[in-house]
Structure 1
Amino acid sequence: MARGVEIAYYEFVYDGHPAEVLKGLQELKSKKHLMDVTLVAEGKEIPCHRAVLSSCSGYFRDMFCNELEETKKDKIEIMGITSEALQLLVDFAYSSKVTITTINAQPLFEAANLLQILPVRDACARFLADHLTPSNCLGVWVLSHTLACEELANRSRAFSLRHFPMICQHDEEFVQLPGDLLKMYISDDYLNAQEEEQVFEMVMKWVKHDLRQRKKFLKEVVEDIRFPHMDQIYLMRSVEADEVVMKVPGIRDVLHEARMYHISRGEVSSPRTRPRLAYGLHEAMVVLGGTRVVNGEYNNDVYCFVPAYSQWSKLTSLPKDLKNTVEYAATTLNNDIVITGGYWSPTAAWLYSTQFNTWNKLPPLSVGRFRHKMATLDGRVYVLGGKNPRGSLQVLPSLDSVEIYDPPSNTWKPSVPLLKGVRACAIATCEGKMYVIGGKDTDQTATDAVQSYDPVQKRWSFRTPMPMAESCFSATSVNALIYAVGGRFQAIQCYDPNTDRWQELAQSLAPWDYCSVTTCDNKLYVTGGRVEDKVKKGKDTVQCYDPANDLIELVHPMPVKLFAHCAVTILKRRR
């Protein structure tokens, strides 16, 4: 060819080639030409071409291209799938088409996943997600969870949670759930069970469907039933009357927790006490009073924070007698809020009704006090410690006196005094006992003492002291552990009453001297605190600590900067 002559070219693409190749392969298959392997499922034989199978299936590509034992066989048995599903997938390999129906979708999905024919697997997943019903959703969830198809598993699980009332009417799949998935299912806050009694009855159906094999799972499953939200009569007549349930190790402690929750919600906190969203209730944190600047601005408003919404709102204002006062104490009683004392109103006692949004005056305290603490135990309110504001602040001794408010009689009664008088201490109830931690004693010095009160024996006792002496801090309990925060502690201090030991956990993210803490949704919410500078201003920070993973994070700040305030938790109806 002469130099300099331009070479002409034309690239021809025949658009019909893929279709004609498939058509040719189908013809070879129908006439059984060049067949080199036979697949077998449930006894049915399906002749095929290795090359065709390998071109669209990762399973067969690995089998035939890696010199496995099957490469030498003329017949290969495929276990774990139906013959119908295998036939449909072989036909797809030769035609690029498959018909998915409500009857074959699940076995076809399972077979396509095994043989790694991804287009069919994904098409089946979409089809199943679009055709979920109360009678098939649990089966789809189990299958997709087993096959690690995350998107379908999430959609089918969400559907099954939402349609729990209908599933109770179609319980064929429910009683077939594996134990681990049953536990996951009933522990979910989003389970649409408007009555916890229904959850209990479905769990017992599951157990009794195969009692011999399943009773060993009962303890683990029962722990996720929210007995505190059941009717008390139902607990007595149906739960406590069930011989199978009452043989479960630890069930009496679980039912005792439920009874205590009915007596006083504020003193019990565990995953079982958290309301399901279907109840129409949320746990909400309430912040009351406090100071914005030392010797200055006081907060006379009450604010509410619902973690589910991450939003603050004003709940109410303090009653007239408590406005512009400081260093009172607060606790909850049957979802209402009780406030006592304070420097300017040392004997005052008020109850805020969360149902009616009203303040009601209670009988005055027998002993006026401020910088004291309150807790609710066995349905009665305890007020203890603090100072009586008579005389010079510098010489006032710390009180050791304890008073109890009895709701039925609407009276305050004296109780067993503390072993050591304290003020500015921390307090928490846990497992039916009350713990008074640290504070300042009568010598104006901080103490590391831990005083425990047993209401059955009506006796105080000392427990293992804190790692360091401290005052002006707060404590709360969750899941049978007590957590102390604030003061000079750089990290959360955790006390286990069962082992009588302390340990140090997550570091604080913001100053928390004079902070307050409460438990909400099984997490600790540490609010406010004071910065030790010339002005000594309050902080608006909210630090959320999750005991499940030992992580602390800053969440939505308070609407005002506060310290020396109170924080409690109530149940609030969803908007």
Structure 2
Amino acid sequence: MKLEFTEKNYNSFVLQNLNRQRKRKEYWDMALSVDHHVFFAHRNVLAAVSPLVRSLISSNDMKTTDELFITIDSSYLSPVTVDQLLDYFYSGKVVISEQNVEELLRGAQYFNTPRLRVHCNNFLIKSIRHANCLRYLFLAELFELKEVSDLAYSGIRDNFHYWASPEGSMHFMRCPPVIFGRLLRDENLHVLNEDQALSTLINWVYFRKEEREKYFKKFFNYINLNAVSNKTLVFASNKLVGMENTSSHAALIENVLMDRKQERPCSLLVYQRKGALLDSVVILGGQKAHGQFNDGVFAYIIQENLWMKLSDMPYRAAALSATSAGRYIYISGGTTEQISGLKTAWRYDMDDNSWTKLPDLPIGLVFHTMVTCGGTVYSVGGSIAPRRYVSNIYRYDERKEVWCLAGKMSIPMDGTAVITKGQHPLRAQPPAECGNQSAESEGQQDDHLSASLAQQLPLGCVPCYMLHWRQQGVCMWGYHHCQRCPNKGLHHQSKCLLAGPKDRRVEDPGSPTRGTGLSCLLSSQATLQDSSKDLNNILSGRISKCTIIHNLMREREEDGLLFPS
């Protein structure tokens, strides 16, 4: 009789014991030396996973009694990384982080281990985000990781307005010429305008003037001077005085300035590159005057004073909420004819003009507030039924694709205005009751901001939403009066309330269709594909900087926010 028995996980058992022997320096026949640190190993194990070790053994005709010594430059691989690599060779397990991924890629390159390279590549793809895409692009170009390179480049291109701003330029000024030139040449580059592209080029050259001055002539040709304002052209002309061989470029600038003096002034918008951003107001969903729920997504182009239709939402609803993060608009919740509190959530890709279904919210919500903070999407407060308010704050985890409970407000409420500033905590502003406009918030309180808002509100009016703090001004669109308001004749009027410089004010666009329960975004830091027939592609794919207003109310047909049908 014969019976066969198989040990479970025997391969792991053997490798674990060999790894223990390595750490105890038992039966070793090779060693790796890094900066006075010596790591002992078994050449049979390393030869099985590394073609480098295998070739060293075969090319040197080593005998079984010979010992193999490898010296590694500490500037290329640190002792910590070599120790981690040996653990990976023996166990097949590796912990990758943003801090060690570059050295692990070097190790994979040095020992010629393609599987480790694949792990690093997958880590970079899954962990890429707004703040690290520039560094990831450097790594992708260095180690020839095409998929990572494409994702990282898109991240920089689509957020160029951030990298060129004072906040992001500290790191971006170190961008190598090959990447900087590729970006500046890209017609889809998301700049605020061509002024920003020219200013960034000059600042980039002056950051390392001696070594970068030679690139100016080539990169200057990527700038459309007809799209640059007179002020920036004069600034650029003055800067060229400090550079060599730039007389021809200065002459081009002078020609543009002279032509503008002789010709009738025209809008610079028509000369902007395709990816240049526009300030716009985006309206989603709502309920029409006759009660029908709406699924339209419209944008009001502030600079051109016109409306354009962008898309249709996957569902018709009012009292929903929305926020933007990069190229995406996130929407969730709302009410329909059948359901008073929806759990559904969707993401709209403004570049591709496409919708993606997201996991449902944990509970059905109306009059909640979605907001983006630090690149993460949150849902704050809301109602699950009339006068049944919630205090929950949910966070959407992109990696796990799930909504998580991030915290709770001190009091349950809906119609909450949420303010974000950079990476700071969320600040919640409850709707004002009739005759009571006190501000309560979760976390840090900005007294000046709350006071400035209260001064702009009509007495006893509930703000529909507060837009972001921009150029020392708060811009709000719409409010409604509560039942106890003394001005009953003005119930549910939608108005444009503004604070800040006059030249940044958004006036009533005036298209004669009315609605209620809308969700509205002001500008979006991403692009939107033009679906209008009459704009001649001038506005195609360009809308910038987005925050939210929502829950606009209407009682009489002659009142309410005006928006296109």
State if a TM-score over 0.5 links the two structures: no
TM-score, normalised to structure 2, is 0.43
- CA radius of gyration, larger in: 1
Which one scores higher on RCO, CA 8 angstroms, separation ≥ 6? 2
